[in-house]
Amino acid sequence: MRTQEALDYAVTILNANLGSCVKVVHGYGSGGTGGDTKQALRSLLRRYPHSVRFIPGEETEGNPGCTLVYPERQIPRSSTNLWESILVFCAIPRTEAEIVKHFGEPARGDVLQALGRLEGTGRLVVTLKNGKKYYLA
């Protein structure tokens, strides 16, 4: 499995297991010091500290070929998947602040861009209530 495919799969599993501990076995690379998948996964997890906590396997099991991940909020996988996740979340009216909070502050820029595009394409309907903008899929 290529690194991007592995990341997409890992994010799918993590998003489906919020509130759990997920052991991601990524191997440690052919050089034994840290393969592309391990480095890419941990880099991705570092970008979403409000969504996940993680512990490198070498700190808990002495195994650099795995990472223990504690997903607490959805992690955007790609713009298309973020769009779909926003649409699901907005099955009931949500404010921008609620949406950003749900997906995590580090993803704010991606979320705001997705909201603009979803609104522009008519996939999200925007209404005003008590001076607040609400998004509804």
> For the chain, where do the domains classified as CATH 1.10.10 start and end?
79-136
CATH top-level class of 79-136: mainly alpha
Strand order in the sheet with 66-71: 22-25, 66-71, 52-56
> What is the per-residue pLDDT across 7-31, written as a single tens digit (0 to 9) for each?
888 998 999 999 999 999 998 776 6
30-87, pLDDT tens digit by residue? 665 567 788 888 988 988 888 999 999 999 999 999 999 999 998 876 655 678 778 8
CATH 3.30.1370 spans which residues of the chain?
3-71
Q: 1 pLDDT exceeds 70?
A: no
Model pTM greater than 0.75? no
Instruction: Extract the runs of DSSP E, i.e. beta strands, from the chain.
Output: 22-25, 52-56, 66-71, 94-95, 125-129, 132-136
* Top CATH class, 3-71: alpha beta
- Over 90: is that where the pLDDT of 121 sits? yes
